[in-house]
Amino acid sequence: MPTKSEEYFEKASSCMPGGVNSPVRAFKSVKGSPPFILSAKGACMTDVDGRQYTDYVASWGPLILGHAHDAVVAAVQEKVTRGLSFGACHPDEIRLANLIRENMPHIELLRLVNSGTEATMSALRLARAATGRDGVIKFQGCYHGHADSFLIAAGSGALTFGTPSSPGVTAGAAKDTLLASYNDLSSVEKCFAENDGKIACLIVEPVAGNMGVIPPAEGFLKGLRDLCDKHGALLIFDEVITGFRLGLGGASEYFGVKPDLTALGKIIGGGMPVGAFGGRADLMRMMSPEGSVYQAGTLSGNPLACAAGIATIETLMKEDPYERIAALAEKLAEGTLANLKEAGIKATGNRVESMGTIFFGVDSVGNFADAMKSDTELYARYHAAMLGEGVYLAPSQFEASFVSTAHDDEIIEQTLAAQRRALKKL
């Protein structure tokens, strides 16, 4: 007898490619079909079959306060009867922009957009305009959204030039993107040396979250800053995940490295569609209508999205939960590794504050090549077994898990107990 989720997935697959609006949700790299979620509150999601899950995906990061946080819901409810969108200026845009600037003072000016993809693609366009150069350096395994310039795989062998990683991305778009290796400054120096004077910017996830979590090696981010300065390129931090995740000041404050431009998303919208890009005023003032670099958006700065983002950031500033959720994440990671060792499963874990990844089948993961050695088949079986025990994990080995303020010691203990039951079924 199919579950209601399976029936929904069949219907979804008849009207949307893969049955989803974002590929990873289709559970292609893990087993089974995705639960269809009906509601969520705190750390818990409930699917259409009434099954409840402790959630560690947090809608891929935005829900640092958990699902349907009272303050966030109230903020949106308070606004919604006064209009959903104006397509005009409104006071809350200023409030959200200033909350971001107050916590990340290196962002002197910013523009609100609707997604992380828009944020990174706009920052890239601005960097190219500001430098008059076309080249961009990115890292294998880092994801910056689906703009053409970022859907680039490593070129063959010694070539630093990228090749399209998706059909539809043209060779023209790919030719300006160079691939370096995360945590390997010599690979970045090579890109610069082979293309001196042609690199507009380097974009990096200051903590990699899209090949699983990989922290920057000691000196790596500072090294990127120095190389960009040496070669007249701009440094872009893609803080779509790390912004307000590592702390109120994001990765820039956490690691003490100041980028020229920053892309934000996820948490700054509190679960509603918000992205932002910003940084040095001299650069941002090049954006239309003050300058000539064009970027626009019908729903940019949407009043409901701003309300959710404002309530989220204000709550984070009031509660400063970072130490507590990091401690919960450490408890989860330590307990997980102990459970896996007890089950005789080789695994390692990377964690920065409340974001982390358990890599299966490997001893350590410090870069993309290490991550790619993970046992994704074992992860898929683990994922299915955990889902069966009511724990909702990212449906891919190469994603981050997140702990929110809605998690607590009891929930972590329950998760570890569920894990011990799940591991017996592998």
Binding site for ligand KE4 (CB under 6 A): 22, 24, 60, 115-117, 120, 143-145, 205, 209-210, 238, 240-241, 265, 275, 399
- Amino acid identity of 159? L
For 383-387, the CB contacts below 8 A with 24+ separation are: 383/30, 383/31, 384/30, 384/31, 384/32, 385/422, 385/423, 385/425, 385/426, 386/418, 386/419, 386/422, 387/32, 387/35, 387/53
Which three-class secondary structure state does DSSP give residue 303?
helix
For residue 104, what are its two tokens? Answer: 């990340």
Distance CA 256, CA 77 (A): 38
In sequence order, which residues have a C-beta less than 8 Å from that of residue 81 and are 6 or more positions away? none
Q: Which residue is nearest to ligand KE4 (CB)?
A: 116
Question: Taking a C-beta distance cutoff of 8 angstroms, is the pair 158, 222 a contact?
Answer: no
CA 144, chain centre distance (Å): 8
Instruction: Decide if 370 is catalytic.
Output: no
Instruction: Decide if 47 is catalytic.
Output: no
From residue 300, alpha-carbon distances to 12, 15, 85, 128, 271 in Å are: 28, 28, 9, 22, 15
Pick the catalytic residue: 47, 92, 184, 238? 238
Pick the catalytic residue: 47, 53, 260, 266? 266
Around Cβ 165, how many Cβ atoms within 10 Å? 13
For residue 157, what are its two tokens? Answer: 């062998």
DSSP 8-state secondary structure symbol assigned to residue 50: S
Q: CA 209, 213, 215 angle in degrees (round to 5)?
A: 105
Pairing of strands 163-164, 199-204: unpaired
* % helix, strand, coil for the chain, step of 5: 40, 20, 40
Distance CA 236, CA 120 (A): 9
Residues in a beta bridge with 199: 135
Cβ closer to ligand KE4: 132 or 167? 167
Instruction: Decide if 238 is catalytic.
Output: yes
For residue 263, what are its two tokens? Answer: 């892309």
Q: CA 78, 84, 88 angle in degrees (round to 5)?
A: 115
Residues in a beta bridge with 358: 349
Helix axes 409-423, 322-342, angle to 10 degrees: 20
Active site members: 143, 238, 266
